[in-house]
Amino acid sequence: MRYRLVLTNRADQQLEAIPIKQRRMILAWMAENLDGCENPKAVIGGKQIQGTQNGWRYRVGSYRILARIEEGELLIEVVRVGHRQGVYGNLPGI
């Protein structure tokens, strides 16, 4: 079974604010590694976010993709995308 990748409105807005070169790199990485994957927890560069049950982070260069994995629905919901220095602050809802 394959997981479906969706972005929240907030993640989409954050992605638009990233310079185009890095944005293309992030989008290509998500398309190649997350969209349609069999097991998002086994993707290289991914780790569970401490203190959460469904929260995972993926490393793409200096940027991070924060996502919620819903196993019952086979869904990867990207909650935030941003530079590693500021993306982790105040993480309710993951």
Residue 89 reports pLDDT greater than 80? no
Strand order in the sheet with 4-7: 4-7, 75-83, 63-70, 55-60, 46-48
**Separation CA 54–CA 76 (nearest Å):** 10
pTM for the full predicted model:
0.90
Q: Which CATH class is domain 4-83?
A: alpha beta
**Separation CA 60–CA 78 (nearest Å):** 14
Q: Between β-strands 55-60 and 46-48, what pairing exists: parallel, antiparallel or unpaired?
A: antiparallel
pLDDT digits (tens, 9 = 90+) for 25-70: 999 999 999 999 999 999 999 999 988 889 999 999 999 999 999 9
Six token digits for residue 33: 């590694």
pLDDT attached to residue 90: 74
